[in-house]
């Protein structure tokens, strides 16, 4: 049998309940971007153009970042330690209005893709402006992504006449990427508080017409929920429910301040949630009710949000902090386990994003895999592999990244991106901006 790639894994973390989560000495066959077989050692009948010897390494699914704003890379470390409303309305939104342009977005995303690859992320859900430019960068980098073009009532860098959105960027993304193997265009209404009923309805009409999903910030802060009650007499979730928005496949970013009724409505809908613990902690927003959401069968992903509120795109840290935050806030060290965090950072995150067959190492799944060198002083001894991945790894262990069967980073060398060129272009662009 002829394959494109064979990976010989020492330790294999499948994230597949049926196969067993941790296996030893397995060979993975990849063809046309898909995993087509997982067997004990390499059968003599197998042949491939390329073979990776990872017998002294750990192989696991690539990680899924369910919520990010990649071009905000340029805002890392800017306006930290401020109250949320001041941070967003006095700094981030005015800076974006002044600085965000196609080159800002392209260069910021090119930098971000290098960080994603370094930390073993193969799928990302992004939400920003000029998202068609972001889609092109992510496609060129070989990553898998949901690309969400923003819709809002406030004037946006790529649509000054909002809320009269021209939808031109969405049209362009749809024409270029609908049905693409890795890049999925989605609509990204900014949040219920920044979109009128009519703006949301217009977005729904567009989504219905072209069969598209949503990503949207929902119930991130206490203030946002209080304002919704004052203005509409109901929670943001209830309002989205009443508008029919929740009949659409969507991922709600944050979902921090959810009532029991909100959780009931989400459980009855095809909506998933991105849990973004570090951003919520840093902005002092609160803690998502993860155990209750999981108990109700709601699909949860794990997101970093932007580096302006995190300040990195590292899902290994996010898993660690995400588990510990739930243990702390619930006064229960079983509130969120390492295994549940790994599910959120892999296949459950992909399911929450409505991306099928991603996040497990299993025949029929997309060949999105990462290879880690676990021979590190901070990873000895290895009593429990899953606990090591969540509580002890820091992301620096990631050596090789494969997405859709293509090797994007090998032994820490970027194969499709030029690190030096990206750095020099980014620093020249940063110097040209007035922050
Ligand atoms: Zn966000």
Compute, in angstroms, the gap from residue 75 CA to the centroid of ligand 1.
Answer: 13
pLDDT in tens, the chain (435 residues): 899 999 999 999 999 999 999 999 999 999 999 999 999 988 899 999 999 999 999 999 999 999 999 999 999 998 898 888 888 889 888 999 899 999 999 999 999 999 999 999 999 999 999 999 999 999 999 999 999 999 999 889 998 877 666 789 999 999 999 999 999 999 999 999 999 999 999 999 999 999 999 999 999 999 999 999 999 999 999 999 999 999 999 999 999 999 999 999 999 999 999 999 999 999 999 999 999 999 999 999 999 999 999 999 999 999 999 999 999 999 999 999 999 999 999 999 999 999 999 999 999 999 999 999 999 999 999 999 999 999 999 999 999 999 999 999 999 999 998 899 999 999 999 998 887
Can you give the pLDDT at residue 87?
Answer: 87
Compute, in angstroms, the gap from residue 123 CA to the centroid of ligand 1.
Answer: 16
Tokens of 154: 């406030």
List, as ranges, residues with CB under 5 A of the ion ligand 1: 305
| Rounded Cα–Cα distance for residues 344 and 323 (Å) | 11
Q: Beta partners for 186? A: 148
| Rounded Cα–Cα distance for residues 425 and 74 (Å) | 12
Tokens of 258: 């959810």
Compute, in angstroms, the gap from residue 217 CA to the centroid of ligand 1.
Answer: 6
Can you give the pLDDT at residue 79?
Answer: 86
DSSP for 86-117, written as a single string: IIIIIIIHHHHHHH--HHHHHHHHHHHHHHHH
Q: Whose structure tokens read 């972001």?
A: 134
Compute, in angstroms, the gap from residue 68 CA to the centroid of ligand 1.
Answer: 6
80 Cβ contact partners less than 8 Å away, ≥ 6 residues apart: 282, 311
DSSP for 26-92, written as a single string: EEEEEETTEEEEEEES--TT-EEEEEEEEEEEEEEEPEEEEEE-GGGGGGTTSS-S--HHIIIIIII
Compute, in angstroms, the gap from residue 108 CA to the centroid of ligand 1.
Answer: 16
| Rounded Cα–Cα distance for residues 190 and 270 (Å) | 19
| Rounded Cα–Cα distance for residues 227 and 342 (Å) | 35
Read off φ and ψ for residue 150, nearest 5 degrees: -70, 145
Q: Report yes or no: 165 and 129 within 8 Å, Cβ to Cβ.
A: no
Read off φ and ψ for residue 126, nearest 5 degrees: -105, 150
Can you give the pLDDT at residue 163?
Answer: 67
Compute, in angstroms, the gap from residue 253 CA to the centroid of ligand 1.
Answer: 7
Compute, in angstroms, the gap from residue 83 CA to the centroid of ligand 1.
Answer: 16
Report in angstroms the alpha-carbon separations of 424 from 165, 186, 312, 398, 414: 35, 32, 20, 24, 16
Tokens of 101: 């342009």
3-state secondary structure of 4: strand
Can you give the pLDDT at residue 164?
Answer: 65
Beta strand pairing call for 34-40 and 214-218: unpaired
Q: How many CB atoms lie within 10 A of CB 299?
A: 24
Q: What one-character DSSP code corresponds to residue 156? A: B
């Amino acid at each position: 049998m002829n394959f494109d790639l064979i990976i010989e894994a020492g330790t294999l973390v499948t994230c597949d309940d049926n196969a067993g989560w941790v296996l030893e000495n397995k060979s993975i066959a990849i063809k046309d971007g898909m995993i087509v077989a997982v067997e004990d050692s390499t059968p003599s009948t197998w042949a491939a153009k390329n073979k990776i010897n990872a017998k002294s390494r750990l192989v696991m699914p690539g990680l899924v970042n369910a919520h990010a704003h990649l071009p905000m890379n340029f805002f890392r470390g800017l306006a930290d330690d401020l109250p949320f409303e001041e941070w967003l309305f006095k700094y981030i939104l005015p800076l974006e209005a002044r600085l965000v342009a196609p080159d800002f977005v392209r260069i910021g995303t090119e930098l971000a893709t290098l960080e994603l690859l370094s930390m073993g992320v193969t799928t990302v859900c992004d939400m920003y402006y000029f998202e068609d430019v972001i889609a092109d960068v992510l496609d060129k980098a070989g990553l898998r992504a949901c690309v969400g073009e923003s819709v809002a009532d406030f004037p946006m860098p790529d649509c000054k006449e909002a809320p009269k959105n021209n939808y031109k960027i969405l049209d362009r993304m749809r024409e270029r990427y609908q049905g693409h193997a890795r890049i999925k265009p989605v609509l990204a209404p900014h949040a219920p508080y920044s979109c009128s009923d009519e703006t949301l309805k217009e977005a729904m009409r567009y989504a219905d017409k072209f069969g598209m999903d949503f990503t949207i910030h929902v119930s991130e802060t206490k203030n946002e929920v209080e304002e919704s009650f004052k203005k509409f007499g109901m929670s943001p979730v209830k309002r989205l429910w009443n508008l029919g928005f929740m009949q659409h496949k969507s991922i709600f970013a944050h979902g921090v301040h959810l009532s029991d009724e909100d959780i009931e409505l989400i459980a009855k809908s095809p909506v998933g949630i991105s849990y973004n613990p570090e951003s919520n902690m840093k902005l002092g927003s609160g803690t998502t009710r993860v155990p209750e959401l999981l108990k109700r069968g709601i699909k949860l992903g794990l997101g970093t949000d932007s580096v302006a509120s995190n300040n990195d795109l590292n899902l290994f840290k996010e898993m660690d902090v995400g588990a510990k935050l739930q243990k702390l806030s619930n006064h229960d060290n079983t509130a969120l386990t390492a295994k549940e965090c790994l599910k959120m950072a892999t296949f459950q995150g992909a399911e929450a994003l409505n991306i099928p067959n991603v996040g497990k190492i299993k025949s029929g799944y997309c060949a999105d895999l990462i290879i880690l060198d676990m021979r590190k002083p901070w990873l000895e001894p290895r009593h429990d592999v899953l606990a090591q991945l969540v509580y002890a790894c820091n992301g620096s262990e990631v050596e090789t990244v494969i997405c859709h069967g293509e090797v994007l980073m090998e032994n820490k060398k970027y194969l499709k991106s030029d690190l030096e060129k990206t750095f020099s272009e980014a620093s020249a662009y940063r110097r040209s901006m007035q922050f």
